[in-house]
Structure 1
Amino acid sequence: MDIQQIEALSSLIATSVAELKQLQGALKTTQHTASTAKAEFLKPSLQVVAAASQLIALVRTPERYLMDISTGHQLSSSLRVVVETNVPEILREKGKGPKRALHVKEISTYNGVNHLKLSRIIRLLATHHIFEEVAPDVYANNNISIALDTGKSLAELKANPEEKYDGTNGIAALVGIFSDETMHNSVCIADILKDPETTNSFSPFDAPFSRAWPGTRNIKMYDWLNLPENRPRLKRFGMGMNGMNSMTPSDAILRGFNWASLPEGSIVVDCGGGVGSVSLPIVQTCPQIHLIVQDTGPVVAEAPAFWQANQPEALAQGRVSFQPHDFFQPQPSVNNNVSVFLLRMIMHNWPDVECVQILKRVRESCNKNTRVVIVDNIMLYASRDQSIEGQDSGISDPDALAPEPLLANWGAANALSYKQDINMLSNHNACERTVPEFAELLSQSGFRIVEVHQAHQSWLPQIVAVPI
Structure 2
Amino acid sequence: MAHAELDRLQACLNFALDTLRKEMDNSQLPPLNQHSSVQHPLDDPTAYLPSAALFNARRLSLACLGELKNLIQPPLDKRMDEKFSTYSAASIDTLIKTSIIDYLSDLSNPSEGIPATELASTFGLDSQKLVPILRCCAANGWVRETRDSSFALNRCSRTFVKGHAGRRLNLSTPGFMSVVAAMPRWVTESDWKLSRSPAQTAFQIAFKTPLQRFSWVMQNPQALIPLADHLQVLGDMSTPSIVADYPWEQLETPIIVDCGGGEGGLVSAILDAHPSFQAIVQDMENVVALTSSIMKERRPRDIESGTLKVESYDLFQSQPRIGNEYSFILRHILHDWPDEEASKILIIDMVTIPNVDSTATTSVKSFLMDGDDKHPDYCVPSHFGSASKLVNAYSVHMLSLMNGCERSLREWENLVKGCGLCITNVYALRAHASVIECTLDAQGLL
Flag whether TM exceeds 0.5 (same fold): yes
Residue 168 (structure 2) pairs with residue 173 (structure 1): yes
Residue 239 (structure 2) pairs with residue 276 (structure 1): no
Whole-angstrom distance in 2 between the partners of 1:18 and 1:312: 47
- CA shift at 1:169, angstroms? 3.8
Residue 241 (structure 2) pairs with residue 252 (structure 1): yes
Whole-angstrom distance in 2 between the partners of 1:325 and 1:171: 30
Q: Deviations over 1:122-169 (max 9, x none)?
A: 10110121100111111100011121111xxxxxxxxxxxxxxxxx34
Q: Deviations over 1:100-140 (max 9, x none)?
A: 51211121123333210111011011012110011111110
Query: In structure 2, do the counterparts of structure 1 residues 128 and 251 end up closer, same or farther at CA, with 3 Å as the change threshold?
Result: closer
Query: Where do 5+ consecutive residues of structure 1 fail to align?
Result: 151-167, 360-371, 386-397
Which residue is 1:55 aligned to? 68
Checking the alignment, whether the CA contact within 8 Å between 2:138 and 2:145 is kept in structure 1 is yes
Query: In structure 2, do the counterparts of structure 1 residues 85 and 31 end up closer, same or farther at CA, with 3 Å as the change threshold?
Result: farther
Which residue is 1:443 aligned to? 417
Within a 5 Å distance, the mapping from 1:176-325 to structure 2 comes to 177-178=171-172, 180-195=174-189, 197-213=191-207, 215-216=208-209, 218-228=210-220, 230-231=221-222, 233-248=223-238, 250-263=239-252, 266-325=254-313
Whole-angstrom distance in 2 between the partners of 1:458 and 1:149: 23
Which residue is 1:162 aligned to? none
Residue 98 (structure 2) pairs with residue 76 (structure 1): no
- CA shift at 1:448, angstroms? 0.9
Query: In structure 2, do the counterparts of structure 1 residues 112 and 247 end up closer, same or farther at CA, with 3 Å as the change threshold?
Result: farther
Which residue is 1:367 aligned to? none
- TM normalised by structure 2 equals 0.86
Residue 93 (structure 2) pairs with residue 101 (structure 1): no
Residue 347 (structure 2) pairs with residue 351 (structure 1): no
**Which amino acid is the alignment partner of residue 423 of structure 2?**
I
Query: In structure 2, do the counterparts of structure 1 residues 186 and 140 end up closer, same or farther at CA, with 3 Å as the change threshold?
Result: same
Q: Deviations over 1:346-399 (max 9, x none)?
A: 10111211101x33xxxxxxxxxxxx5x110110011169xxxxxxxxxxxx96
Whole-angstrom distance in 2 between the partners of 1:170 and 1:298: 24
Whole-angstrom distance in 2 between the partners of 1:56 and 1:242: 33
Say which SS state the counterpart of residue 169 (structure 2) adopts: helix
Say which SS state the counterpart of residue 266 (structure 2) adopts: coil
Say which SS state the counterpart of residue 376 (structure 1) adopts: strand
Whole-angstrom distance in 1 between the partners of 2:181 and 2:149: 32
Whole-angstrom distance in 2 between the partners of 1:193 and 1:410: 27
Checking the alignment, whether the CA contact within 8 Å between 2:232 and 2:263 is kept in structure 1 is no
Checking the alignment, whether the CA contact within 8 Å between 1:104 and 1:115 is kept in structure 2 is yes
Whole-angstrom distance in 1 between the partners of 2:240 and 2:105: 31
Say which SS state the counterpart of residue 107 (structure 1) adopts: helix
Query: In structure 2, do the counterparts of structure 1 residues 2 and 282 end up closer, same or farther at CA, with 3 Å as the change threshold?
Result: farther
Checking the alignment, whether the CA contact within 8 Å between 1:252 and 1:459 is kept in structure 2 is no
Which residue is 2:58 aligned to? 45
Checking the alignment, whether the CA contact within 8 Å between 2:424 and 2:438 is kept in structure 1 is yes
Please, which of 99, 105, 119 is the counterpart of residue 86 of structure 1? 99
Which residue is 1:461 aligned to? 434
Checking the alignment, whether the CA contact within 8 Å between 1:202 and 1:429 is kept in structure 2 is yes
Q: Deviations over 1:40-63 (max 9, x none)?
A: 321111111110121111112222
Checking the alignment, whether the CA contact within 8 Å between 2:237 and 2:431 is kept in structure 1 is no
Whole-angstrom distance in 2 between the partners of 1:355 and 1:380: 20
Q: Deviations over 1:50-96 (max 9, x none)?
A: 10121111112222222222222222222222222222112123x46
Say which SS state the counterpart of residue 377 (structure 1) adopts: strand
Query: In structure 2, do the counterparts of structure 1 residues 68 and 275 end up closer, same or farther at CA, with 3 Å as the change threshold?
Result: closer
* Number of equivalences: 415
Q: Deviations over 1:193-239 (max 9, x none)?
A: 123521111111111011112x42x11222222334x51x3211222
Query: In structure 2, do the counterparts of structure 1 residues 105 and 2 end up closer, same or farther at CA, with 3 Å as the change threshold?
Result: farther
Which residue is 2:36 aligned to? none
Whole-angstrom distance in 2 between the partners of 1:187 and 1:53: 25
Checking the alignment, whether the CA contact within 8 Å between 1:129 and 1:144 is kept in structure 2 is yes
Query: In structure 2, do the counterparts of structure 1 residues 458 and 399 end up closer, same or farther at CA, with 3 Å as the change threshold?
Result: farther
Whole-angstrom distance in 2 between the partners of 1:442 and 1:288: 30
Checking the alignment, whether the CA contact within 8 Å between 2:112 and 2:146 is kept in structure 1 is no
Checking the alignment, whether the CA contact within 8 Å between 1:148 and 1:171 is kept in structure 2 is yes
Residue 395 (structure 2) pairs with residue 405 (structure 1): no
Say which SS state the counterpart of residue 330 (structure 2) adopts: strand
Please, which of 137, 141, 145 is the counterpart of residue 125 of structure 1? 137
Which residue is 2:391 aligned to? 417
Query: In structure 2, do the counterparts of structure 1 residues 179 and 49 end up closer, same or farther at CA, with 3 Å as the change threshold?
Result: farther
- CA shift at 1:98, angstroms? 5.3
**Which amino acid is the alignment partner of residue 392 of structure 2?**
Y
Which residue is 1:365 aligned to? none
More off after superposition, 38-47 vs 98-107: 98-107
- CA shift at 1:182, angstroms? 2.7
**Which amino acid is the alignment partner of residue 212 of structure 2?**
K
**Which amino acid is the alignment partner of residue 380 of structure 1?**
I
Query: In structure 2, do the counterparts of structure 1 residues 21 and 257 end up closer, same or farther at CA, with 3 Å as the change threshold?
Result: closer
RMSD: 2.6
- CA shift at 1:286, angstroms? 2.5
**Which amino acid is the alignment partner of residue 193 of structure 1?**
V
